[in-house]
Amino acid sequence: MKEQRMKPIWFFVGLILMVIGTIIFTNGIYLLYHPPTIATVLASTHPDIWWGFVMLLFGGFMFFKTRKQFV
């Protein structure tokens, strides 16, 4: 009988960060081509694209690093 191991929490944290990062990054790309009528002070730096990409990379790193620990 095969012993079952618990999935590490970082697997799920990475998965959540990838999903949320993808949503934020996609929204940033949309706002790049369809800018809002009222712009904020730092809208020209496009922080949603940067932070969405950072979240996507970090979540992907954590997800793929821990996914083989319980296979």
* Confidence at residue 61, expressed as pLDDT on a 0 to 100 scale: 95
* Confidence at residue 5, expressed as pLDDT on a 0 to 100 scale: 76
| Number of domains present in the structure of the chain | 1
Instruction: Domain of residue 61: give its range.
Output: 9-33+43-69
- Can you give the pLDDT of all 71 residues of the chain as single tens digits? 677 778 889 999 999 999 999 999 999 999 999 998 998 898 889 999 999 999 999 999 999 998 876 65
User: Exposure of 60 by Cβ count < 10 A (0-12 exposed, 13-18 middle, 19+ buried)?
Assistant: middle
pTM of the model: 0.83
55 located within any domain: yes
* Confidence at residue 6, expressed as pLDDT on a 0 to 100 scale: 80
Structure tokens at 32: 């790049």
**How far is CA 53 from its chain centroid?**
7
Please identify which residue in the block is written with the tokens 């929204």.
27
1 located within any domain: no
3 located within any domain: no
> What is the distance between the alpha carbons of residues 31 and 49, in angstroms, rounded to a whole number?
9
